[in-house]
Amino acid sequence: MSAIGFGAWAIGGPFMARGKPAGWGQVDDEESVAAVHRALDLGVTFFDTADVYGTGHSERVLGRALSGRWDEVVIATKFGLTFDAATRALTGQDISPGYIRQACRASLERLGTDHIDLYQLHVADAPMEQVDEMVATLEGLVDEGLIRAYGWSTDDPERVAAFAKGPHCAAVQHNLNVLHDAPAMLAVCDTHELASVNRGPLAMGLLTGKYGPDSRLPMDDVRGDSPAWMTFFKDGRPAPEFLAMLDAIRDVLTSGGRTLAQGALGWLLARSGRTVPIPGIKTVGQAEQNAGALLHGPLEAAQLAQIDEVLQRHAR
């Protein structure tokens, strides 16, 4: 599996959550398919999606792009959030055994494949009391050959440790990027020998350097009408404190001819042997630039230390 993956949230197109846009605006499916193909050509073989992205559309587009190439890839998707495809809206959550089994079959159908490599719980704060029941259901799906492994998309180390009791729990998906370190999450991955799949590796685009203090994201973009949980964009604009942090480390990230995005991905590759960043990609150009980070490789340990010092983070 490639050291850098492909995040497929944006290619799902528009959908709504609690009355606000939850997608990344309009996307062109032909461009999305071309971006997946370009990523594959450049050695990217790990693809992360969710049933809810575009209320099923991301899985369908990805399935179309990967058709005939399933042997080359590792596919990850998610379950637990419910949605109505007719209104393209999220409706709630369900982690009951019956729903998990139904959601798994629906994802397989939309993707057009016979198994999911990594099946991830999408409900970050699902109750601990339901962990044993979920693990038993997921182990059942492994036994049936419908999934190979499972994990939790959460930023809570305790929840990760509880899920890791399951024999086929292989990964956690969590927030990690050069502006937001997560040592406790990486430590729990070490303890339980889990892969650390990194969402938001480019701080939702802020780390690419293309957004400045005057940028205003469109209202049909999840960043445009920013929900309360979002840290890197506030009121539709990049958060000034993160732009200042980016400015402070710009020179280190762009060392060796890297673009800012490649430097941000290089930081993640260097941060731990378990990290697998999954930058969200919408276009062929983004696929090319992000895959280019594989050629540049990880930043050096001294550069990580320099970044910690500049950002006044405690040395590890």
H helices of 42-130, in order, are 57-66, 97-111
234 DSSP β-pair partners: 237
The answer to whether 119 is a known catalytic residue is no
Binding-site string for ligand NAP from residue 34 to residue 73, where x marks contact by CB under 6 A and - marks none: --------------x-------------------------
Q: Looking at beta carbons only, is 113 or 262 nearer to ligand NAP? A: 262
Interface with ligand NAP, residue 12, by CB under 6 A: no
Name the catalytic one among 53, 119, 150, 211. 53
Instruction: Judge contact between 150 and 118, C-beta under 8 A.
Output: yes
Q: Count residues binding ligand NAP (CB under 6 A).
A: 28
Interface with ligand NAP, residue 110, by CB under 6 A: no
The residue sitting closest to ligand NAP, measured at its beta carbon, is 7
If we measure between CA atoms, which residue out of 51, 65, 64, 70 comes closest to residue 9?
51
3-state secondary structure of 215: coil
Residues 222, 224, 226: CA angle, nearest 5 degrees: 65
Minimum separation from the CB atom of position 77 to ligand NAP (A): 9
Minimum separation from the CB atom of position 23 to ligand NAP (A): 10
Interface with ligand NAP, residue 107, by CB under 6 A: no
Binding-site string for ligand NAP from residue 128 to residue 167, where x marks contact by CB under 6 A and - marks none: -------------------------x--------------
3-state secondary structure of 305: helix
Interface with ligand NAP, residue 224, by CB under 6 A: no
Tokens at residue 167, please? 């024999």
d(CA 239, CA 231): 7
d(CA 16, CA 76): 22
Minimum separation from the CB atom of position 228 to ligand NAP (A): 15
Q: Using CB under 6 A, which of the segments 32-40, 106-114, 125-133, 276-284 binds ligand NAP? A: 276-284
DSSP code per residue over 10-58: GGG---EETTEE-SBS---HHHHHHHHHHHHHTT--EEE--TTGGGGHH
Minimum separation from the CB atom of position 48 to ligand NAP (A): 4
SS3 assignment for 259-302: CHHHHHHHHHHHHCCCEEECCECCCHHHHHHHHHHHHHCCCCHH
Binding site for ligand NAP (CB under 6 A): 7-10, 24, 48, 78, 122, 153, 173, 199-205, 208, 210, 261, 278-282, 286, 289-290
Catalytic machinery residues: 53
